[in-house]
Chains A and B, each alone.
Chain A
Amino acid sequence: MSTFLNYGIPGIPYGCDFALVAVGLVLTYRATGVFNLAFGSQAFLAAFIFDLLVRSEGLPVWLAFVLSVLVISPAFGLALDRFLYRHIPSASTTAKLVSSVGVLIAIPFTIPILFGNAPRLNPPTLGLNINKVYIHVFSTPINGAEISTTVITVVVVAAIMAVFRWTSIGLQMRAVVESRRMSQLEGINAPSVAAGAWALSSALAGLAGVLLLPLQAELSPTNPLQFTALLVAGLTAAAIASCRSMGIALGSAIGLGVIENLLKGYLPSGGVLSSAVVEAFPFVVLVGTLLLNPGLRTMDLSSDPLAAADPPLAPPAIAVRDRRLERPTRIGFWLLVVAFLALSATWVPGVWVTTFDEGLALSILFLSFTLMTGMSGQISLCQASFAGVGAFTAGQLASHMGLSVLLGAVVGGLLAAAVGTLVAIIAIRLSGLLLALVTLSFALFCDQLLFQYSWSGGGLAGVNVPRPVLGVNFSSDRAFLFLLVVLLALSMVLVLLVQRGTVGRYLAAMRGSPTAAASMGISLRTVRLTVFAMSAGIAGFGGALYASVIGSASSQTFPYEYSLVFLVAVITLGPRTVEGAVQAGMGYAVGFFALTYLPTRFQGIQPVLFAFGSITYAAHPEGILEYQKTRWMRRVNRVFALYDARRGRATATPAVELAGAEGPAVGLATAPVRSGEGVGV
């Protein structure tokens, strides 16, 4: 019994670390309706500011705590509400998720730009001394930080629960989340209540960051996602609590901490199996909870009866283009392609050709988002992991069996599709938020476990992924560029065929109204499964080609955060069209390389720009670039209209413009018009 307690008791303060994340997620979700994936980033920001105020400004710890947790963190939350979430339609789970991913990426990548890269050793601690044992519980030593974390966590969670349960403010918060517009009809000042909720949840994020600081002997601005190590356990506890009960979240988190410690204590050390069990434990619990907890199934289904009053999606740029522009645009496009090929073959410096190669391979990878997010309106946060599956498969097959990399890439794509199908079978009953969480947990599983083995990720040396040989040796970057162009074109055609075929029509219907689509006999399960598998397959194929461009792949080539960065890149530059994927792929690679010309401090600015771009997803789900293209098309249309009016001719404005400025409604009705989406030629 004594051994049991010795293993289990330290799990309580450790579990409280999880609980801070879990309760933060639940609080934000309950108070604002947003599953705030950026919670860890907000915690990191507060911890960084706390450290900065103590170390650089010489403020006392208590004053730094007040400023960072009680002033700056809530102010940041208010800013998030005022400038971001207030403008997101109440029913759009995808928009809220994308926005939170944008914030998740933007905050930590901004910090090194503003404050430099120097790591900070021995960050200050709030409360009791971590190096001093204050009490023994059943002979288990408890240090100051463990006491502080446990006491503060329990007290704060109890206080927040009391506010939610017994105060009118709490009731109003819950009402606003259930239906913002209905609560407004009841006379509740919904914007103020939501702002208050954001301030409160952000203060909790700040508190979590400061309390977690003692776990970090070194706070590094260049490792901004270090708090996400707690994300899996935090997510799991929040899921067990169905994102509703903070008390259950607290209890679950502590339970997870205790069980993890007990597993580590009682399983034999050094064994492969026991290591795997301990490492996989949080993921197994998370996925099991997401699947088996019935309370989660309905969490992202809106109960807002006015939710459907949101405006429909804007039409794509091509749909508002004046017909007279079609021919010049098509000619211009092909001239651009020919010029790109000719210049890449001759004049462009080699270093840029490699960058173009990377961009083309990424474009193929990003086409998976066109299927997944652009067409089906769902969020996958593990596309980089599928890319990794493809890359490692191609590399291992080439290394061990001498298989051609191109064939290996196809096999890798198929394997990624198979893995995607498995994930989809797990997630098939889920949609929106839960699908995103399952995919995020899969990405974390790949990153922290699956890709770390030598049989998969190649271990220390990684996996060599050579260039393909198809009669022609593609070891030269210039030669490979042309092969990639061909493969990209074929992939684009494949996606276009899907987009315009039966599956595409079903997806359009599903995106507009799953219920209506099901009532027409469309099998949502089959459609989702098909899309997920195809999307994973394309990601795997693109990932293998990307690895072939750079020559190798290791566990660090496709970390989980790349799934998030890739997502915000595509969201920013156009998730709905195949040319959007190409824009994103080329923009990502070219932008990344162009930034190497800037001073090192600004090297991380690209994810920040993409993140801010993705934050506009709520307002412009077609992507900020597509939105701007549409605006410019409309301006050109007006010029044509003026020209026609002066000539006394009837204008040739496209049908969709006549239908209304915002275009047609979402769903089946859009199908004839959406067929205009395409390569933009």
Chain B
Amino acid sequence: MSRSRRARLTTAVSAVAAVALLVAACGNASGHNGVSNLSPGVTSNSITVGSIANITGPLSSDFAPIVNGVQAYFSMINAEGGVDGRKLKLGYQEDDQGSGTTDLAVAQKLVEQDHVFAVVGVGTPFFGGAKYLASQGVPTFGYAVSTDWEGHPSLFADFGSVLCFQCGAPGDAWTAEQLGATSIGVVAYGVPQSAAACNAAVTGMRGFGLNVTFTDTAFTFGADPTADVLKMKAANVNVLFTCLDVTGNVAFARSLIQNGMSPKQVWFNGYDRNTLKQYGSLMNGVYLGLQHVPFESALSGDYPGLDTYIREMSKYQPNFTYNETALDGWIAADQFVTGLKAVGKGKLTQASLVKAINQETAYNGAGLTTPVNWKTAHTLATPPFCQSSVEVENGSFVPAFVNDGQVFTCFGSKTSTDTVPPPAGTPGPSPTSG
């Protein structure tokens, strides 16, 4: 490069740098953060919200239906006249493609361009927009599979915003005890989302003195499970916990049968009627731990919230119907509407909605979950820790460990498998024994 050209280039770059730094200061000065007192997306007769879901990315079938639950719930509320005369509009349905980067971009789009009042129906593995939505004070509702929801007062995850794998340990241990576990195996993929859940289960169960004889929390997607199965056979494993997807669960279930093993299996994923329809023969005897009232408890008269959910969702067949992911959207929408009703006829702002919800101490997810105390649930997972379960019997899901009609089993602390009565506000009958 000639000296003159080099000099020119240096001058040009210096000029750009000077201009940039100058305007950078201005840009910083004009930047804005914090909670708005205005009410974007709210008119006298409507409230417009958006959703963010992984519609087209990997594992989208585990997240996309959340939007269906929101739509169905809003339709039901609108048919009843809306909230305080305002109809609810899911005006913008964003697809983050399972990417945290895209998630952030579409979150910004919803807030800055579409001016939504809230984001209702977040279903994504990588919630990249969490901090941004929190910084803008936008009320946000959805299902948490990451720690992004924690610590933000305007972010409301369906079962509490703290992702606490350890809190499930008493339930895992109790389930293992109920299944007569003498030798326990645990299998998970090597990815953090899978391994973290199962590692917590292993630590917890060992802490309760259970005999965990086999662990593989680094299983590879698509790999041959035979070696693991044979080692479990050698260890006389009679209860197997898995943190796998359908492909992994089916591969293990098949290999167990073909190698002459019949341990009780507890799957953390797989409560899906389509999966059962396709793989019912492999799933017989499998237990699945849930956080909500099992769908099979419908029409018992004990769970009117569930009856409503299934009735409303069934109206949309064959386009979509009820399932676990749609239920997450349903609860998110219900939490939003519950908050709106709590604000009442006062001035509806994002801040007032957030404040109203954070006053709730026993929100039970449209009658589908055990209560969440929003005074603490942003930062703490507090006992009692509850779970429900289903078992696959003859190709059908059946509620398991039901106590006098109550599907939830609760534990008083992370360190005890002693059951306690479900807290006040839990849907369903009160069991006569703990």
Known: A452-B190, A461-B147. A264 touches B128 (CB 8 A): no
Cβ of B113 under 8 Å from chain A: yes
User: Could you say which of B247, B249, B254 contacts A130, with CB atoms under 8 Å apart?
Assistant: B254
**When each residue 13-27 of chain A gets 1 if its CB lies under 8 Å from chain B and 0 otherwise, what string results?**
010000000000000
Cβ of A552 under 8 Å from chain B: yes
Cβ of B177 under 8 Å from chain A: no
Cβ of A122 under 8 Å from chain B: yes
Instruction: Name the B residues within 8 Å of A489 (CB-CB).
Output: 13, 16-17
Instruction: Name the B residues within 8 Å of A311 (CB-CB).
Output: none
Nearest chain A residue, comparing its CB with the CB of B53: A600
Cβ of A475 under 8 Å from chain B: yes
Segment at the B interface, from A211-219, A510-518, A639-647: A211-219
B265 to chain A, nearest CB (A): 15
Nearest chain A residue, comparing its CB with the CB of B20: A482
Nearest chain A residue, comparing its CB with the CB of B194: A460
Instruction: Name the B residues within 8 Å of A313 (CB-CB).
Output: none
User: Are the C-beta atoms of A460 and B146 separated by less than 8 Å?
Assistant: yes
A472 to B21 alpha-carbon distance, docked (Å)? 9
**When each residue 107-127 of chain B gets 1 if its CB lies under 8 Å from chain A and 0 otherwise, what string results?**
011011100000000000110
Cβ of B258 under 8 Å from chain A: yes
Instruction: Name the B residues within 8 Å of A478 (CB-CB).
Output: 24, 27-28, 30-31
A387 to chain B, nearest CB (A): 12
User: Could you say which of B113, B192, B217 contacts A349, with CB atoms under 8 Å apart?
Assistant: B113
Nearest chain A residue, comparing its CB with the CB of B260: A141
Segment at the B interface, from A165-173, A315-323, A554-562: A554-562
Known: A131-B282, A215-B222, A351-B105. A476 touches B30 (CB 8 A): yes
User: Could you say which of A10, A270, A552 contacts B100, with CB atoms under 8 Å apart?
Assistant: A552
- Number of interface residues, chain A, beta carbon within 8 A: 96
Cβ of B180 under 8 Å from chain A: no
User: Are the C-beta atoms of A481 and B258 separated by less than 8 Å?
Assistant: no
A565 to chain B, nearest CB (A): 12
Instruction: Name the A residues within 8 Å of B196 (CB-CB).
Output: 459-460
User: Are the C-beta atoms of B100 and A556 separated by less than 8 Å?
Assistant: yes
Cβ of B246 under 8 Å from chain A: yes
Main SS of the interface on chain B? helix
B19 to chain A, nearest CB (A): 6
Nearest chain B residue, comparing its CB with the CB of A265: B227
**Interface size of B as a range:** 35 or more
User: Are the C-beta atoms of A222 and B56 separated by less than 8 Å?
Assistant: yes
Known: A121-B278, A338-B19. A269 touches B224 (CB 8 A): no
A475 to B58 alpha-carbon distance, docked (Å)? 31
A247 to B258 alpha-carbon distance, docked (Å)? 31
**When each residue 583-611 of chain A gets 1 if its CB lies under 8 Å from chain B and 0 otherwise, what string results?**
00000000011001000110110000000
**When each residue 78-100 of chain B gets 1 if its CB lies under 8 Å from chain A and 0 otherwise, what string results?**
00000000000000001101111
Nearest chain B residue, comparing its CB with the CB of A488: B16
Cβ of A183 under 8 Å from chain B: no
**When each residue 28-50 of chain B gets 1 if its CB lies under 8 Å from chain A and 0 otherwise, what string results?**
10111100000000000000000
Known: A486-B17, A601-B56. A265 touches B230 (CB 8 A): yes
Cβ of B64 under 8 Å from chain A: yes
User: Are the C-beta atoms of B102 and A216 separated by less than 8 Å?
Assistant: no
A9 to chain B, nearest CB (A): 9
User: Could you say which of B10, B55, B100, B109 contacts A554, with CB atoms under 8 Å apart?
Assistant: B100
Instruction: Name the A residues within 8 Å of B101 (CB-CB).
Output: 358, 550, 557
**When each residue 653-681 of chain A gets 1 if its CB lies under 8 Å from chain B and 0 otherwise, what string results?**
00000000000000000000001000101
A431 to chain B, nearest CB (A): 28
User: Could you say which of B21, B60, B99, B250 contacts A486, with CB atoms under 8 Å apart?
Assistant: B21
- For residues 322 through 380 of chain A, which have their beta carbon under 8 Å from a beta carbon of chain B? 334, 337-338, 341-342, 345, 349-351, 354-355, 358
User: Are the C-beta atoms of B128 and A551 separated by less than 8 Å?
Assistant: yes
User: Are the C-beta atoms of B9 and A345 separated by less than 8 Å?
Assistant: no
- For residues 214 through 273 of chain B, which have their beta carbon under 8 Å from a beta carbon of chain A? 214-218, 220-224, 226-228, 230-231, 245-247, 249-251, 254, 258-260
User: Are the C-beta atoms of A476 and B27 separated by less than 8 Å?
Assistant: yes
Going nearest first, the 5 A-B pairs with the smallest beta carbon separation are A476-B31, A478-B27, A482-B20, A122-B278, A482-B24
Provide a sorted-by-A list of 20 A–B residue pairs whose CB atoms are within 8 angstroms: A117-B56, A215-B222, A215-B247, A218-B61, A265-B227, A337-B16, A338-B19, A342-B23, A448-B190, A452-B192, A475-B31, A476-B27, A476-B32, A478-B30, A485-B20, A486-B16, A592-B105, A593-B105, A600-B55, A681-B12
- By a beta-carbon cutoff of 8 Å, the part of chain A in contact with chain B is 3, 6-7, 10-11, 14, 112, 117-119, 121-122, 130-131, 133, 141, 143, 215-218, 220, 222-223, 226, 229-230, 257, 260-262, 264-265, 269-270, 275, 278-279, 334, 337-338, 341-342, 345, 349-351, 354-355, 358, 448-449, 452, 454, 457, 459-462, 472-483, 485-486, 489-490, 493, 496-497, 500, 550-552, 554-557, 592-593, 596, 600-601, 603-604, 675, 679, 681
